[in-house]
Amino acid sequence: EVQLVESGGGLVQPGGSLRLSCAASGFTFSSYEMNWVRQAPGKGLEWVSYISSSGSTIYYADSVKGRFTISRDNAKNSLYLQMNSLRAEDTAVYYCAREGELLSSFDYWGQGTLVTVSS
């Protein structure tokens, strides 16, 4: 069974940093592209970042470019999101999502981890 489990969320002050993790199981993690998607409270979904299966290709949404860094450790079946210079508008539930074989749709999602940026 495919499972994605996020962790690392919490309360952080504006300007602070946080590192999110996503532990994958039930599939060959190193074969799949991965994404981070966030959802602000009461709002819609916003794509944040993409990383290829090998980690060699990375993309970011303009809203986080230069502040967030996506990475992965295929030996540990884990995906990461390093978030620096956090702002109030980064407050959201962060989901990791697998970009699967179904025409690059996001076929599996984690349960999400809440990041709250507030003083």
**Rounded-to-integer distance, Cα 99 and Cα 118, Å:** 31
Count CB atoms within 10 A of the CB of residue 88. 10
For the segment 32-71, give every residue that binds other proteins (CB under 8 A): 35, 37, 44-47, 50, 59, 61-62
Is the Cβ of residue 29 or residue 95 nearer to other proteins in the bound state? 95
Minimum Å gap between C-beta 32 and other proteins is: 14
Binding flag, residue 118, other proteins (CB under 8 A): no
**Rounded-to-integer distance, Cα 119 and Cα 74, Å:** 35
Question: If DSSP codes are grouped into helix, strand and coil, which group holds residue 108?
Answer: strand
Q: Which residues bind other proteins (CB under 8 A)?
A: 35, 37, 44-47, 50, 59, 61-62, 95, 102-112
